[in-house]
Structure 1
Amino acid sequence: MRTVAAKAVPNQVDARTARRITLAGCVGIFAELYDNGIFGFMAGTLALVFFPDSQNAVLLVFVGYAISFFFRPLGGIICGHLGDRIGRQRMLVFVIMLISVATAAIGMLPTYAAIGVAAPCLLILMRILQGFSVGGEAAGAMTFLAEHAPEGKRGLYTSYAQIASFLSLLTGTLIAAAMTSGLGPERMESFGWRIPFLLAIPLGITGIYIRRKITDTPNFTRLKEEGGLSKNPLKEAFASAEHRRAMWLALLIPLMNGSGYYVLFAYMPTFMSTELKFSTVDGLLVTAASLVAISVAIPFMGALSDRIGRKRVIAGAAVAMAIAGIPCYALISTGNVGLAALGASIMAVVFAGHTGVIHILLVELFPTRVRYSAYGLGYNISSAVFGGTAPLLMTFLIGQTGNTYMPAFYAVVTALCTLAAVSRVTDRAHLPLQDA
């Protein structure tokens, strides 16, 4: 294993090129996250189509949702290794191709009524492929954008990718709401549920086309030309005490994602309709309002982190979530659509201070030689253990206790855990990215 002293090289990418690369990256992320998110939005209908004879149909759908997350670390390991060895751009083309095929295939699956138990088995298999590809996407896309961003604006530029991810969720929410309202339950169960998944085809083609047109990052290209690429990035990362510590931080700091991204957005429509007795459309519209709020707030948080540091912004968001989590869920639980939208939107703005900054903080923990692999492993394990299982855990706990405030308690606990972890970080917001 080659050991190289860490060095920092200022990024010389001009602003115009950085904007073009960022736009291209965001389009790909939009397609990728739409494909992954639509599964959560359609959980109620998928339960009827694939588990019609079960009293725990929604729970079983979220079991399938959770299983896929345990393949994210595998995707992160394999795609991260190849991304650190052969380049970020090639892997980003591969992962968007894989998730687009898997998502479109869900829209073509035969139902339980047609082929019995084989139908949910195929559904879970497609979810596994989605999980694998998203494991390669998260660290790869953020690494790609950060390594292209101008110095002093990495927080702002990478935050655009998070806007794209939440706009993709908003798109999925509005499509699901419009179709549910327009087609009605019977036609949705008959054929309408397939349409959102089949939209992965044009989205995927667009994303693949754009990603094939972009070049690899200056950091990776420079390291490759100098002969500084690692032969085994993950092995090298584990051999370093500093990198091992950074991987632990990459696992623990994203804990707030479990109560934010995966509960507040992916699980919320199902929670509101099954537990709070909102109509399906009202639940989706409340989620849509919160998605608009977070999309507006994210770039401000990214830019703020460029000025005052990542650590302060994330810590502030964690404290605010610990304080506001329960009162905001109280607003949601009133049953009033307006108050529910207000509560969800306040939580969304608070969560923007975490999700808009978390990825650039993690990118900055690692040098170029091992960044994709080490960041991807830590973050994807966190997503698998604390994120993908969150809807399943909430469904189970509410079913066992009858307490609909379980998501609020989860928000407070994960926020406090994130606060404790981020306090251990050395902030590198105002330093160039490490190359080696």
Structure 2
Amino acid sequence: MDIQHPDLHPLYAEHLATLQARADKALLREGFDHLVIAAGQPAMQFLDDRPYPFAVNPHFKHWLPVTKAPGSWIVHTPGRKPKLVYLQPHDYWHVVPDAPAGYWVEHFDIVVIREAKEARAHLPNDVARCAVIGEAGAALDGFAPNNPQGVLDYLHWQRSYKSAYELAMMRVASKIGARAHRAAERAFRAGASEFDIHVAYMGSARQGDNELPYNNIIALNEHAAVLHYMELAHAPPARAHSFLIDAGASFHGYASDITRTYAAADAGEFQALIDAVDAAQRGFVAKVRAGQAYPDLHVHAHLVLGGILKDHGFVRMGAEAALDAGVTSTFFPHGLGHPIGLQVHDVAGFQASDRGGTLPRPPGHPYLRMTRALEPGMVVTIEPGLYFIDMLLAELANKPAAKDVDWARVDAFRKYGGIRIEDDVACTEGEPENLTRDAFAALG
């Protein structure tokens, strides 16, 4: 499969048939005749004539790989070929969306319109019989999204199970991301600033800020202790001790989400800690198997990381004691991972069934983004970390467990910021498929 132009014709046909069957069931169950999906509209900045970057409705790009056609609509009626109402305006101020082309067009009845308001004539007449999915700004002449909860619950639940087409998309997104990560590491080793590392990443991925699936985290030294650091300093630090990069790529609407941490050549003790977290992360990936409760895997990660903290001299307490005292949460304050696919933090991570409901997080773990049990077809991230965050360490210093912390050792590591290792992993009927490690391996 070519990294940029895989042959997706047969996979897409099967994928679309799956989506149609899911939509048919959701409509029948909730009493609707049509599923209508709005691509969405760009939002304008306050008191300005500049739009915010357009982000397509994930439901829209689930049906077809079109991410830059605002004002367009999909109409699905059971038993009929789906319709695409495609806005291709006459416009000399902006780039106009390309004419529909590619492996998917034969599967749609396509109507091209020149003005957004023309879409109304091609949508079902009886709005009350339509499940209309989209944001409020997509409303059109009395035809507005109603986002029926029962329909969304069913579609979101089913979206957890990736088709072969979707996995093919995500493998390519992983390959693009891995290639760009290599370029970023080279820039770091050459002494580049955070901004210049970011530019090197985008150049290798051939994706700009608004094409990447999320804002890159490019963090040198203590900046890695800010979990969502996005400032991009333009000047390099006087001395680079460490580099954490959390950055993904997009392919046909699907995302990859990859994190790596690197030590400077003279930071041997920090490299040893990276190696320990990396080994632990591989162990967690191996447990991405059908039936594994994700919250249990998250708690298991805390215990393993607690052991690393002890082995590397940061604490003098056992792993279970460190977990119970909240010490592991000081050094690992986020969740182990999340679902990924059409969105980086994909839907239904907490959903109890295809009729909705919520599976609660385990007590003491408020930032976990998934509480379901793993099943074949799911893709999740596995991203443990260890961080030296001043605010959390200050809170720990006022707790009874502080007496079991080697504060001199902790202080010596603050300059490194922290470590995170993240892979995208598909649950299968057997061994997990590590999309990220496979992508790096393919680079040689």
Please, what TM-score do these two structures have when normalized by structure 2?
0.27
Please, what TM-score do these two structures have when normalized by structure 1?
0.27
Based on CA coordinates, which of the two structures has the bigger radius of gyration? 2
Higher helix share: 1
Higher strand share: 2
